[in-house]
Every structure is written in C-alpha cells, then in structure tokens.
Amino acid sequence: MGLYEKPLAADSTHLFDLYRRAEYSDCLRLTELPMTDDEYVIRLGCLVRLGRFHEAIRGEVISRLSTLKPRLRMTAYSLLSWAFGQLGSESNAETMLRRAYETAQQSNARDDECAEVRYFDALHKISQHDFAGSLALVKTFDSSDGYRAKALILEAWIAAAQGDLGQQLDRFSNALDIDEDGELWSQAAMLHGYSALVRELYQPLKIAQLADRARAFPWSKDMFVQKFYTYRNLGWASALAGQSLQAYEYYCVAFHVAQARPEHRMLIYADKAFLALAMDQHELMKIKLDSAVDLLDTVAWHDAGEARCALLLLVELHAGTGDASMAQRCWDMYSSIRIPINDASIGVAAMRRRSLERYAEGWLLRVLGRNAEAIEAFSEAHDNWKTIGYSWRAVLAATALGELTGDRQHFDFALSETAQNFPHAWFARSLQRYRDRLDHEALNGLSPTKRNIIRLLLEGKKNQEIADELSLSHNTVRARLNELYEKFTPAQRSKTALVCYLHSLGL
C-alpha cells in the first residue's frame, strides 16, 4: 500500500501524519540527515509529489536503496520509476520498475503489497501509449486493496489519451466519490483535472457540485497549484454560464491562492481582461491587461508549467486591441519556452495545446495583416476543437473566421451553437450583433467584402486599417466605400454619413 499503510517507527509518526495530510514541504524540513529508512522513503515520496525529480534521482539518494527492507525498497523503486519517466529517461524508469518486481518476487510479497508497483507501472505504460497493458494492470486492483480510486484515475487518463473526454469526466466523477484513506494528493489532482473538463466541455450542471467539493476539501499549502486551477476553472465555467457573481467569487479565491506565483496572477489578470473586453468594458480591460503586462518579466517561464498559456491569452488580447508589437513580443516569449509537440505526445492533450497555439497565432497573423495565414490557423483550431468537443472554443474560432472571411456559414455555426448551449455566455451578446447585421434586409445582396468593410467601419477603423485587416489595397477599399455611398447615402458621399445611416438602422 505504499507510504500510506507502512508500519513506521514511533518517532516517525508525526512525519507520517504530515505526509498523509500532503504537507510535503514540512516533511522535507523534518527529514534531514541522518534519516531512518522510513524517513528516507517518505522524503523520496515528497520530492516526487512536489515534482522535484532531479533531487529524487541524485546518486546519494539511489545509493541507499540496497539497504532498505523489501517493502520500502519496492516503494522507493516505484517512486524513482516515475521520477525518471518524468525526466524523459525511459530506460532508467523501466529499470526501476523491473527491480521493484524482482524485489517483490524475492521477498514473496503478497499480491496486495505489489499494488503500488503495478500502479506506477500502469502510469508508465500510459506514457508509452501501451493502453492495453495499462488496462490489464488496472483490472488487478480489486475493491479491497485501497486502489479503486487510482484505478479509475488510470482509466480516466487512458480515455483522454484515446479521445473519449466524456468517459474521462465520468471516471473522474466516480473516483471523487470514493473516500480512500490517505489519498488527499490524488483527490486534489482529480479536482484539478475534473474542473478543467467541466470548463472545457462546459458542464453547467456540475459547477455547483464541483464548487461544493472544492470548498469542503482540506487543501494543504503544497496543493496551491491544484487549488488555483480548480478555482480558476470554476470562475471561467461560471462566466460561460452567465453566473457573474459566482465567477467573481471563484476568481477571488484563485487570486488569493496565486499571491506567491506571478504567473498565476498573470493568468487571472488576463482572464479578467479577456472577459472585460468581451463585455465592452474597455477601461477595465486596459487596467487588467496592464497589470498582466507588468508581471511579464517577473516570471520564470521555463518553470511556469500550465501557466505558460497566459502568454497565449496576452497575444490574443493585444492583437484584439490592435497592438501588434506587444502581441508579437508575447508570442516570441511563448515560442522561446514552448515544449515541442511530437509523436510521443498523447492524443487530446497534444491536440488541445496545438489548437490553443494556432488560435493565438491566428490573432497575431490577423493583426499583422497576414489574413490568409490567419484563416488557416483559425480553421485548424476550429476543426480540432469541434473534433474533441470543446464547443465554446469552436464558437470563438468560428467567429474569428467569419470576421475575416465574411462567410456566413461560420457565423451561422457560432450563432446556432451559442443559442443552443451558451445563451448566457459573454460572447452571446456580440454574436447577437452579428446576427442583426447579417439578417438586416438593407444588407441583403452585399458581397462578403462589403459586409466586412461595414463591420470594420462600425468599429471605427480607418481606410488603411480596413485595407490591412482585409488584405485589400487602399484603392480597393476606397472603391468599395464609394459603391456603398452610392447605395446608401448618395446625397452625402462620406464615411460619417454612411456610419450615421447604418446606426439609424440599428447596426
């Protein structure tokens, strides 16, 4: 049963209690040399849980393995297999697993005593895309060995890797209903993963249930990452559902948790700036965006993990406000620390990251006037998000495509999806404006180019800005405007008269 049910010396009881409560930093402070064997394995477990893998595999740590009792040695080998795997050293990871199994065989370990080894072996097989092998190990966890929740977690990650996010959501939900002793860290990780699915797959009926779980959960100070993302995801999901007060509450909790991490504060500022822009609250948007930008150079981006996506949000925000220079700067910062997506990347996770990158790149290309490339980037993101079921993201990509191409089918998709699934989301109001413009009888028969010129004209764009955004020559824009003057305001051939006329139509 690993570290949770090992018999410990009397003087290690306090340390064990801290470990069970996931107070890993406190455990590390208490396990200074010399250490008992129990303390050594607890320290190793803390290093692995906190992601300090390089410390876990140091020579002086590994050299002690041979002196441990068999059960402790099995646990240590299992933990080291995960550490090596996370560092990309697959051969060492497999060596550690082989030694763990050999130790179990040599010591005649009972089947339930080997569950931890099988669990880490299953994790390793998932990372190697050996899903059949991992599922075979999952089936060995019976209902009495305390690994029911972990078995469901493994099934959840396998489902995600195979593209079945609905099944992943169900497995996480079932795992959270299992109260297994000593599993606080796993439960925190599940809340984080579950909240991400509630956000991305948009599960409004699960928001309140998830919030209740998050409020009742005994978060330790070492769980700040899981707590931050759980509440951030709750905030975004609530904004999608039009629950502004709840979104504000959850973002406040996330921001409080984020105080020690500038990259997390940046994410909250960027989220709030994005929502303010979508709600036409431009002054608030600028305040939040400036706050995010002020933190750009304070973040150690190579160690920022999931928070790197803040840079992609900033690309979109700056591009959306016409600041090509800052959009390019944020994109260059992201590109410099980007982890390549390769054939070893797992299914939906790789597709999701690729789509986020392409969507942000589309905004950069758009503000740079490279519209054909922007359309290609938005199209890839849109198609991927539709495939994996990220409907609200697909709506945003479709809207961007509609704006660039003037093709009504993109707006029709966005309008239909929003009316059916996201009627209270922040983007519903702006899409209604598009519907009004598309359906207005005065615009019937206009070409996509003229519709786009009208759209940009109503946004206050100048001729050259319109030309740049639509990849047209200045003369073409002027010619199309003259045609619009002839159609709508022949007596007063000016942009002012045309805009006033369009406003009089309610556009």
- Between CA 468 and CA 475 the distance in angstroms is 12
**Taking 90 as the threshold, does the pLDDT of residue 146 lie above it?**
no
CA distance from start to end of the chain: 66
Residue with tokens 């490279």: 370
Question: Residue 58: which CATH number?
Answer: 1.25.40
Name the band, by pLDDT with cuts 50, 70 and 90, for residue 362. very high
Q: 234-289: per-residue pLDDT in tens?
A: 999 999 888 889 999 999 999 999 988 999 999 999 999 988 887 778 899 999 99
Residue with tokens 């589309």: 362
Q: 482-494: per-residue pLDDT in tens?
A: 888 888 787 777 7
Q: What is the mean pLDDT of residues 460-477?
A: 85
Question: Residue 451: which CATH number?
Answer: 1.10.10.10
The answer as to whether 40 is a domain residue is yes
Domain that holds residue 418: 401-504
The answer as to whether 286 is a domain residue is no
- Between CA 184 and CA 160 the distance in angstroms is 22
The answer as to whether 9 is a domain residue is yes
The answer as to whether 432 is a domain residue is yes
Residue predicted with more confidence, 15 or 215 = 215
| Omega within 30 of 0 (cis) for the link into 262 | no
CA dihedral 136, 141, 142, 146 (to 10 degrees): -170
The answer as to whether 176 is a domain residue is no
The answer as to whether 163 is a domain residue is no
- Between CA 177 and CA 170 the distance in angstroms is 11
How many structural domains is the chain composed of? 2
**What rounded mean pLDDT belongs to the chain?**
86
pLDDT at 112: 79
Top mean-pLDDT range of 183-187, 211-215, 344-348, 420-424: 211-215
Count CB-CB contacts under 10 A for residue 183: 22
Structure-token pair, residue 86:
């996370």
The answer as to whether 227 is a domain residue is no
Q: Which of 75, 93, 109 is the last residue of a domain?
A: 109
- Between CA 19 and CA 441 the distance in angstroms is 68
Q: Which of 109, 143, 165 is the last residue of a domain?
A: 109
pLDDT at 344: 47
**Taking 60 as the threshold, does the pLDDT of residue 342 lie above it?**
no
pLDDT at 440: 64
Residue predicted with more confidence, 445 or 369 = 369
**Taking 70 as the threshold, does the pLDDT of residue 179 lie above it?**
no
**Taking 80 as the threshold, does the pLDDT of residue 309 lie above it?**
yes
CA angle 472, 314, 51 (to 5 degrees): 140
Return the amino acid letter for 270: A
Q: Which of 56, 82, 109 is the last residue of a domain?
A: 109
The answer as to whether 62 is a domain residue is yes
- Between CA 493 and CA 507 the distance in angstroms is 19
